[in-house]
């Protein structure tokens, strides 16, 4: 019997036998550590709490925004470090029609739904089913059973996320979900706020950014996609060549506080791993390269962060970090020309992210 077959049997067994697990699990913070590279995760929202790694001089810093206590995460409205879903990003009018049935969802941003509603995956307690703090590949796997009708979505869904550290300074995120009894949209995203200079180092406007995407999905005034796919050429959304964020951000349309837009990744039609983005913080020398099998990535520059008291009492302000949320296209349930995010019973949704960290001297 092949190792692949054994692996598949184990996963099918796990998926089939965890549906009954209660959500009443103990809250905690769990660490993964590999040398001077470490990650902390809480099972409240399956959130990344900290990512600590060295700069070009070997000085350690935490490079994600967050809080000191789980209680603060429970009061968080910015989804700091969370897994968001059942459907990440926005669904226009908080409604969609699937297989002839109209579904009205829990609107939590005006008349629209954002990141799964008032009780999205970021606001629930996940079960830790495996945790290896150290070793060759420190990892943690968390599980959540989303019930039929939760936030208005059809069908039950079993959701797993695994965070893994590997050499040299690699963080992988594996998100899987299985529809149990009804076809349903699934679009998960990892919502960490990155500041490679350190979470308490100020804004990210001087960071250099490259995004491997020639197109975006433009939005209306409520940030709902229009259904178009347009070129970034000769616009402030063009990050095909690396450059600092603060230069084009000034050229965004009137009223924009910063970036909050989905990029259509080059090669989005395939489900293979592909380059997504590169971020470089010159002062620290830290570099983050991101790759994924998702078709899109949301660039969000923390536009609405305002006087948020974070870790160590540091107060975060607008542009204190950026998010690179690989994802299916927003509101895809209402745009037939967007890649489908519908998962049918028995099928498994798979979303992979790989963050590779390094440093470079000037």
Q: Which residues are catalytic?
A: 191, 325
**b/e per residue 41-64 (b: at least 16 CB within 10 A):** bbbbbbbbbbbbbbbbeeeebbbb
Q: Which residues pair with 42 in a beta bridge?
A: 29, 47
Q: What is the DSSP string of 70-93?
A: HHHHHT-SS-TTEEE-SB-SEEGG
CB-CB neighbours of 12 under 10 Å: 13
Q: What is the DSSP string of 201-270?
A: S--STTSEEEE-EEEEE-B-TTS-B-S--EE-TTSTT--SS-EETHHHHTTSPTT--S-EEEEEETTTTS
User: Is 191 annotated to bind ligand?
Assistant: yes
Chain center to CA of 220: 22
Chain center to CA of 116: 13
User: Is 193 annotated to bind ligand?
Assistant: yes
Using CA atoms, how far residue 126 sits from 21, 28, 43, 123, in Å, is 10, 10, 5, 9
User: Is 215 annotated to bind ligand?
Assistant: no
What's the angle, vertex CA 134, arms to CA 131 and CA 139, rounded to 5?
40
User: Is 241 annotated to bind ligand?
Assistant: no
Contact status, residue 343 vs residue 185, Cβ threshold 8 Å: yes
Q: How far apart are CA 301 and CA 317, in angstroms?
A: 11
Contact status, residue 47 vs residue 153, Cβ threshold 8 Å: no
User: Is 90 annotated to bind ligand?
Assistant: yes
Q: How far apart are CA 239 and CA 211, in angstroms?
A: 5
Binding residues for beta-D-galactose: 89-90, 191-193, 260
């Amino acid at each position: 019997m092949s190792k692949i077959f054994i692996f598949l049997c184990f996963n099918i067994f796990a998926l089939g036998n965890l549906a009954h697990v209660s959500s009443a699990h103990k809250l905690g913070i769990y660490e993964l550590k590999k040398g001077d590279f470490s990650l902390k995760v809480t099972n409240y929202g399956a959130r990344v709490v900290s990512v600590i790694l060295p700069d070009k001089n070997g000085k350690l810093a935490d490079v994600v925004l967050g809080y000191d206590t789980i209680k603060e995460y429970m009061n968080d409205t910015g989804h700091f470090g969370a897994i968001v879903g059942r459907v990440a990003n926005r669904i226009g009018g908080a409604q969609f029609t699937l297989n002839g049935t109209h579904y009205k969802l829990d609107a939590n941003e005006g008349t629209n739904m954002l990141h799964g509603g008032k009780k999205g995956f970021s606001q629930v307690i996940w079960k830790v089913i495996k945790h290896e703090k150290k070793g060759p590949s420190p990892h943690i796997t968390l599980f959540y059973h989303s019930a039929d009708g939760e936030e208005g979505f059809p069908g039950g869904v079993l959701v797993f996320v695994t965070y893994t550290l590997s050499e040299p300074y690699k963080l992988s995120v594996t998100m899987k979900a299985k529809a149990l009894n009804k076809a349903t949209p699934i679009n998960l995203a990892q919502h960490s706020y990155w500041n490679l200079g350190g979470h308490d180092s100020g804004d990210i406007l001087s960071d250099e950014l490259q995004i491997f995407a020639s197109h975006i999905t433009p939005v209306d005034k409520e940030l709902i996609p229009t259904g178009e796919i347009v070129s970034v050429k000769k616009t402030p959304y063009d990050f095909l060549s690396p450059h600092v964020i603060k230069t084009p951000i000034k050229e965004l349309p009137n009223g924009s506080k910063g970036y909050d837009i989905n990029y259509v990744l080059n090669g989005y039609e395939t489900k293979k791993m592909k380059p997504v983005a590169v971020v470089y913080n010159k002062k620290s020398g830290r570099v983050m390269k991101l790759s994924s099998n998702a078709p899109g990535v949301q660039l969000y520059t923390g536009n609405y962060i305002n006087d948020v008291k974070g870790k160590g009492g540091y107060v975060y302000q607008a542009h204190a970090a950026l998010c690179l949320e690989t994802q299916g296209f927003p509101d895809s349930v209402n745009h037939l020309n967007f890649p489908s995010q519908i998962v049918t019973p028995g099928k498994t949704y798979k979303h992979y992210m790989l963050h590779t960290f390094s440093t470079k001297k000037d």
